[in-house]
Structure 1
Amino acid sequence: MKKIVLAFLLIGQIVMAAKIDSIEVKGITIPLIFEEDVRLPIVNTQIVFTNSGSITDKKIAGLAKFSAKMLNEGSREMGANGFAERLESKAIHIAASTGSETFVIDTGSLNEQFKESMKYLKMLLEEPNFTKRSLEKVKTMTMGAISRKENDYDYVASNALKKLLFDGTVLAQPSAGTLESVKSIKLKDVESFVKEHLVLSRAIIVVGGDVDIEDIKKQMKKVLKILPKGKSEPLPHYEASSDAKTDILKRTTEQAYIYFGSPYNMAVNDEDYYKARVATFILGTGGFGSRLMEEIRVKRGLAYSAYARVHVSKSVSYFNGYLQTKIESQNEAKETVKEVIAEFVAKGVTADELEQTKKFLLGSEPLRVETMSQRLNRTFMDYYKGFKPGHSQEELEKIKNLKLADLNKFIKAHKEILELSFAIVTK
């Protein structure tokens, strides 16, 4: 136990080593999150563009992810293979990806190749391989992946649930797009997306490793000065539907895939988020000790696993979960989910459940911040959500001191999670 506490304290000190600075490019102040770590001779750099993920795909579903894949086709001069071979020869990694709210360009290298990695990153951003040949290649790969997912019933049920919760919004469509939407993408669509979203006013830099912060500032200015200033826009916020609906999708399957969800009234910077974290751990995130697992698997044998969590971001806040069960048990499983959640809201949790959850969340904390990338991501998320550095550590202290009466009052106040919608893939 002493070793765990010591590790926790040491890691707490490491987390605080991550600091927030900034650089100025073309009159735009760009946040810089940095942590020096000299234990390994490596450097990892991310440029995060906010309000640039799949949530921006209002006209063409899947355009953000498609644009990231196009950026991964290398530079126009070298082509995809030539660019990849050149990076490999120098042990440099450059890749673009998207989330729901962000577009990220990740660069990694040995510290001795840091300047070289920035040179190739600049080359990629200056002249990406946006050609008709690359477009058709990415279309073929993307449409193939979408076609294969038609038989992934977890994917099908998950998308169906989002359509129930966010019907009529961009969130109701698959982030990867559909066969029709991907087929319709033109080069000008990708070029317009990059021009609008990969801009200085949306950029946040995240860097960690064996490198001096002044070197980072110098190299990043060289890279970023090729980007336009652009403009930053606030993220839209979408409310999950409180109309409890059920969508049954018939497929050739031997199992029923049950996905469920409901609204969850909480802002991304809500100081009570730590209570939601504890509550959902007890209800459905905590594995075999959770209420859903205990009732659905242990007591009734309806499923191998059952899971539930809360999603709270700038653009959405909702509760969801899932399980698989036998075809003949799907109705019982659905009703059991509703019963477990209803009892949870009505009666709250026990003192023992709270104590065990505290022990797990506090005791396992070192595993969540043991790598540099984990620590940087945590610092970034605190900053992105509008909290000051070290907020995550303060949240752990709040969990440690959380009283049972306060937690149960919080749980009983969130009756909106009872408005459950279900998406079920069945035979």
Structure 2
Amino acid sequence: MAAQIDYIEVKGIKVPLIFEQDTRLPLVNTQIVFTNSGTITDTKIPGLAKFSSKLLNEGTKKLGSNGFSEELESRAIHISANTGSETFVIEVSSLKDEFENATKFLNTLLKDPNYSEAALSKVKTMTLGALSRKENDYDYVASNELKKLLFPNTPLAQPASGTVESVKSIELDDVKEFVKQHLVVARAIIVIGGDLDIKEVKENMAKILNTLPKGKSEPLPHFQASDKPKESILKRETEQAYIYFGSPYNMAVNDEEYYKARVATFILGTGGFGSRLMEEIRVKRGLAYSAYARVHVNKSVSYLDGYLQTKLDSMDEAKKTVINVISEFVHKGVTKEELEQTKKFLLGSEPLRVETMSQRLQRTFMDYYKGFPLNHSETELQKIKKLKLKDLNDFVKKHTEILEQSFAIVTK
């Protein structure tokens, strides 16, 4: 059956439940998604959201990390927490026969997280080690620098994992306060699929939700990307130049014209060897092995970004080529052949994007999260199929804001 949306009423709140029954394998996959609880909330301590998720992965205080892991492994149960920009997610997977045990272990974890100095120290050591290694990952360095240019004085200007200074400053009370504020019924969305009926799902998920505070939901902030072109050049010991670029992209998360942005961006920079950027930068000029541009349209942000690596002595040429390709794209639009090839790819590859239950659940979740009806993805494909060249080019030429490119470059 296809994914459906239902609700579980807990503490006076109707919690959305996205569910798909799949009896082909005796497996169950569950996600509890907490909205407005990701790294976008790190306004005081950069990296706190990700740090909190890592500490939740250290098991319970009673059993400790190893003891809790052993209990899970003996039953083939997996529980983990992770964060995105806008959401905090707890994932649980198990065999059908262990689903009830899996919910019990999750309940135990939520009631008794491993809030110990030993766990805090362990997570700090691991996080600081990872940050240290990333100092020489120049893609990471350039990407973070671009975010600083596009979103100054916002949580997005800070690395999602935090800085050495911010991570060192985190205390147990900070994690406790984060979990208390964000892992609450009012922010929860349940996403679950597998060999279960919906009645069993509701009963077990209600037990989990009842262990959480009621809390309150808050509107997600929206951050506008800077429309004032800037450039930041960072000098490092590198044999290549890392060029990251970005601009505003004026579109709301629930814009009915998003399908046009999807087609246009595929032609500009997402479509691999068929894209404009790849054609001009790699095929014609041999300046880079690859070059990409993508559009991010979320509740909190809407912007275009892209990247490439090139030889040190061709850095300036590569940067000019990016500017020229995007300028020509906006002013002249796309060709009929480009549109038809993109249609063939997007429509032809659609079965690959919905072949697994997790893919279908994720798609249904994103449609719901963005405020669209359940069948929105299918409707969008039909719109792409019928899209006319003039309508697409009118749309492309309207988005002149992508000409306001900022550049973050790591070079020697």
| Whole-angstrom CA distance in 1 between matches of 2:24 and 2:211 | 33
Measured after TM superposition, the shift of residue 26 of structure 1 is 1.1
Task: Say whether residues 1:398 and 2:383 are aligned partners.
Answer: yes
* 1:296 match: 281
1:34 aligns with: 19
- Residue 173 of structure 2 is aligned to residue 209 of structure 1: no
Q: Supply the distance in 2 between the matched residues of 1:76 and 1:391 (Cα, whole angstroms).
A: 44
Indicate which of 137, 152, 173 corresponds to 1:188: 173
- 2:408: which partner in 1? 423
Whether 1:344 aligns to 2:329 is yes
Q: Does 1:104 align with 2:84?
A: no
Residue 367 of structure 1 corresponds to: 352
Runs of at least 4 residues off by over 6 Å: none
CA distance in structure 2 between the partners assigned to 1:361 and 1:37 by the alignment = 26
Which amino acid counterpart does residue 219 of structure 1 have in structure 2? N
| 2:141 alignment partner in structure 1 | 156
Shift of 1:301: 0.3
Which secondary structure does the structure 2 equivalent of 1:238 belong to? coil
Which residue, 131, 150, 153 being the options, matches 1:146?
131
CA distance in 2, matches of 1:118, 1:193: 22
| Residue 56 (1) aligns with residue 18 (2) | no
- What is the deviation of 1:250? 0.2
Aligned equivalents of 1:336, 1:226: Cα separation in 2: 56
CA distance in 1, matches of 2:229, 2:209: 47
1:273 alignment counterpart: 258
Instruction: Name the structure 2 match of 1:94.
Output: 79
Name 2:29's counterpart in structure 1.
Answer: 44
- Partner of 1:58, secondary structure, is coil
**2:270 matched to which residue of 1?**
285
Cα displacement string for residues 58-86 of structure 1 (whole angstroms, at most 9, x for unaligned residues)? 00000000000000000111100000000
Tell me the equivalent position of 1:313: 298
> 1:238 corresponds to which residue?
223
Secondary structure at 2:82 match in 1: strand
Partners in 2 of 1:202 and 1:248 — Cα distance? 40
Displacement, 1:124?
A: 0.3
**What SS class does the counterpart of residue 168 from structure 1 fall into?**
coil
Q: CA deviation at 1:360?
A: 0.1
SS class of match (1:412):
helix
> For 1:225 and 1:242, how far apart are their aligned partners in 2?
45
- Aligned equivalents of 1:250, 1:232: Cα separation in 2: 43
Percent sequence identity over matched residues? 74
Distance between the aligned counterparts of 2:356 and 2:366, measured in 1? 16
From 58, 73, 79, the counterpart of 1:73: 58
Structure 2 equivalent of residue 385 of structure 1: 370
2:17 is paired with a residue of what secondary structure? strand
Distance 1:146 1:339 in 2: 35
Distance 1:136 1:18 in 2: 42
1:36-79: per-residue Cα shift (whole Å, max 9, x none)?
Answer: 01111100011000000000000000000000000000011110
Letter in 1 for 2:99: F
Q: Secondary structure at the match of 1:48?
A: strand
Match of 1:171 among 156, 159, 172: 156
What is the rounded CA distance, in whole Å, between the counterparts of 1:226 and 1:325 in structure 2?
A: 53
Please state how far the C-alpha of 1:290 moved relative to its aligned partner: 0.2
2:10 maps to 25
Question: Which amino acid letter does the alignment assign opposite residue 83 of structure 1?
Answer: F
Residues 337-365 of structure 1, C-alpha deviations (whole Å, 9 max, x = no match): 00000000000000000000000000000
Offset of residue 95 of structure 1: 0.2
Following the alignment from structure 2 to structure 1, what is the Cα–Cα distance between the partners of residues 160 and 338? Answer: 37
Which residue among 254, 260, 264 is the counterpart of 2:239? Answer: 254
The residue aligned with 2:114 is: 129
Count how many residue pairs are aligned between Structure 1 and Structure 2: 412
Mapped to 1, the partners of 2:341 and 2:202 lie a distance apart of: 45
Q: How does 1:214-229 map to 2 (within 5 A)?
A: 214-229=199-214
Q: Cα distance, 1:179 vs. partner? A: 0.3
**2 CA distance for matches of 1:28 and 1:364?**
39
Which whole-Å CA distance do the structure 1 matches of 2:129 and 2:109 have between them?
26
SS at match of 1:386: coil
Which among 388, 394, 408 is matched to residue 409 of structure 1?
A: 394
TM-score, normalised by the number of residues in structure 1: 0.96
Q: CA deviation at 1:140?
A: 0.2
Give me the whole-angstrom Cα distance separating, in 1, the residues matched to 2:219 and 2:369.
Answer: 13
TM-score calculated relative to the size of structure 2:
1.00
Structure 1 unaligned regions, length at least 5: 1-13
CA distance in structure 1 between the aligned counterparts of 2:37 and 2:228, rounded to whole angstroms: 29
Matched letter for residue 412 of structure 1: K
CA distance in 1, matches of 2:142, 2:355: 34
The equivalent residue for 1:357 is 342
Q: State the shift of 1:28 in Å.
A: 1.1
Structure 2 letter corresponding to 1:424: I
Question: 1:299 offset after TM fit, Å?
Answer: 0.3
RMSD: 0.5
Q: C-alpha distance in 2, partners of 1:109/1:170?
A: 35
Local SS of the residue matching 2:342? helix
Q: Per the alignment, in what secondary structure is the counterpart of residue 196 of structure 1?
A: helix
Deviation at 1:285, TM superposition (A): 0.1
